[in-house]
Structures are given as structure tokens and as C-alpha cells.
Amino acid sequence: MSSNAEIKLYKTLAEAGDAAAQNWLGLTYQYGRGVPQDYNEAVKWYYDAAVQGHADAQNNLGLMCQHGIGVVQDDAEAARWYYMAAEQGHAAAQSHLGWMYQNGVGVPQDYAEAIQWYRKAAEQDNADAQNNLGWMYQNGDGVEQNDAEAVKWYLKAAERGHADAQNNIGWMYLNGKGVPQDESEAIMWYLKAAEHGHAAAQNNLGWRYQQGKGVPQDYTRAIKWYRKAAEQGHAVAQNNLGMMYSRGLQDYAEAARWFLKAAEQGISIAQYNMGLIHEEGRGVEKDYATAEMWYREAAEQGNAEAEYALGRLYYNGDGVEQDDVKAENWFRKAAEQGLAEAQVQLAKMKN
């Protein structure tokens, strides 16, 4: 926390036009260090420094504009300030500008331009840019696809503690992309990312422990990692945790709670699971109408099990008016995806 004397000194310097002091005051007000937090005041001081060409202030002002903190959100204005800082060699601004070009935010989408700015930042050891450059090489966006080059940049970022890169390099080792396949190396990197709070890595670790892939099978650890990811809103982990409660711990009410969270995020298998528990009355009141609703949500995303389940409801008239035509339609959709039960049911209907 800044002292009153320090704040007074920097304010005097800032009011006299010292750009470094103005940027310092911007940070002080943005984070409430020894003063009441005041985003508008932070923007004022960042702006005063930025127009004098202070690169840190230009980058900070870009962040405020991009996220609508103390100013009206404006991606184009953010890109403008990032560009000014990036042109001065500011690594974080170069990385931010690369992201905007990659995603077409505030500027026209331009992978080649994104690569240029990511590379400039990555060569200054900016871990975000290194990870993003790795992603561009892995996916062949703006460059020729090259897994080995992707690994090179992921590794640079991962060794600097970048959780996304640690998860990405874990995936590369797991799948033998750009490196020899090495499950133990993959798990090491997943663990590093998971311990940094990376939800996807936590889910990946949960699955490895659940299945006993590369680690001894351990349901307790699986649940631990699934829960950490699920509590961060990771939808696949929420469904996986629901499955652990449903099949292993047989706590159907808790399973239903997690299935619902995942289903509301549009995960089709979770929507199917919500349909199933409502059809069977496990952890929730038996309710065919609600089951039909969730099955339909999943089926409309092409989930074969949900298509078959909808066919069953129409065939039996459970919660819907009995309708062989609709039943056959849903059975056919599931059968065309190779679901054996649907193929059998469809054959019976034709005989």
C-alpha cells in the first residue's frame, strides 16, 4: 500500500506533467492502493500519460477500454492504444494486439497480423504470446501447421508457469503431437496446470484418475479434480462429477445438481442425463414432460442416445401423445448414427 507522503509526491509530479508519475497514479487509483478505488480517476491519469507516449500507460488505457473499466467499453479504442504501445516494443501490448487480430475484435480478423504481433511479444518472453503463438502453429492459423513449432512455444510459456500452456503441452504429450507420446509427461504438465487452477486440466486429471489412465485408478482423486473444475463452471467436469455421484456414490440428488449446471451450459450428454433422471425419478421427481424437454434439447444437438430416448417416449406414449411416426423418425436418426438399440427397434417397427 502506498503511503500518504508517497501519493502526495507522485501527485505533485503528475500534475507537473511527469508521465511516469501519471501512470503510477493511474495504477494507484485503479487498484485502490492507499486511496479509495476510483476507475474514472485511474483512466484520467492513464490518459494524461498515454498522450505523452508512455507505453505502459497506453497499454493500461487499452485494457480499461477493452474491458469497459472507468470508460465506455470500446474495442477499437483499445486496439488503438495497444498499437501505440506495441509500436514502442511493449510486449504485453503486442500480445493484446495479436489477440485482437486473431479474434477480429476491434480490428478486422487477420491471422498474419496476429502472428506478427505474437512473435514480437513471444521473443520478449511474454508467456501469453508464446502460448497463443503455439496455438496458431498447432491449428495452422496464419502459418503452416507445425506441431513441433507449437510444442516449442507452448514449452517456453509452460516453463514460465503459464497454466494454459501447461495444459496444452500436456495434451501434446498425451497425443504424441510434435513430441513422442508420453503419458507420464502429459500427466506431469496437467498436474502443474491443475495446481494453478486451470479448470480444463483439472477435468483432464479427473478423467485420468477415474479411468486409471497413466495413474492408479482412484475415484476419490477423480472426484477431487472434477469438483475443482466444476466449481469454476467447467461444464464437462460438472457432467463428469454428476456421473460419479450417479454411478459410483449413488447420490442422485447431488448428481442431478451437477447435471443441471452442465445441461444449462448446453452440454448434450448432460441434457440427456437430465432427461434420464427425470424419466426414472432418480434424485428428482419423476416427470415425463421434463424428461422429454431435456431429451429434445440433447437430440437437437445430435445426441444419439437422446434421439433414441425420444423415440421410446413417443413409441410408448410416456409424457407425450403416442405417435409411431415421430417414434420412427427419432429411432431412425439414432440408428443412422450407429446406435444398436435404435437399429433393433427400427427393424421391429418395420416387421
CA dist., res. 154 & res. 128, Å (int): 10
How do residues 112-151 score in pLDDT, each as one tens digit? 999 999 999 999 999 999 999 999 999 999 999 999 999 9
> Per-residue pLDDT for 1 more than 70?
no
Residue 17 pLDDT = 96
Instruction: State residue 130's pLDDT score.
Output: 98
Cell matching residue 175: 497425443
Rounded Cα gap, residues 347 and 286, in angstroms:
30
Q: Are 39 and 29 in contact (CB under 8 A)?
A: yes
- pLDDT tens readout for residues 284-341: 999 999 999 999 999 999 999 999 999 999 999 998 999 999 999 999 999 999 999 9
d(CA 342, CA 308): 6
**Domains of the chain: residue spans and CATH:** 199-255 (no CATH), 266-281+288-351 (1.25.40.10)
Check residue 247 and give its pLDDT: 87
Mean pLDDT over each residue of the chain, to the nearest integer: 96
Q: What is the pLDDT of residues 222-232, one digit of tens each?
A: 999 999 999 99
CA angle 326, 328, 331 (to 5 degrees): 110
Segment 257-272 mean pLDDT: 98
- Residue 207 CB contacts under 8 Å (≥ 6 apart), including other chains: 213, 222, 240
Q: What is the pLDDT of residue 277?
A: 96
Residue range 42-93, pLDDT digits in tens: 999 999 999 999 999 999 999 999 999 999 999 999 999 999 999 999 999 9
N- to C-terminal Cα separation, the chain:
80
Which one, of 163, 165, 104, 106, lies nearest residue 133 by Cα? 165
Mean pLDDT within 165-173? 97
What pLDDT score was predicted for residue 4? 86
- The residue-averaged pLDDT of 196-211 equals 96
Quote the cell numbers at residue 43: 483512466
Please name the amino acid found at residue 203.
N
Where does the pLDDT of residue 281 fall: very low under 50, low under 70, confident under 90, or very high at 90 and above? very high
Q: Indicate the pTM of the whole model.
A: 0.86
Asked if residues 225 and 205 have their Cβ atoms less than 8 Å apart, the reply is yes
Q: Which residue has the cell 429434445?
A: 296
Max Cα distance, the chain (Å): 91
Find the helix packing angle between 183-195 and 199-211, rounded to 10°: 130
Q: How confident is the model at residue 248 (pLDDT cuts 50, 70, 90)?
A: confident
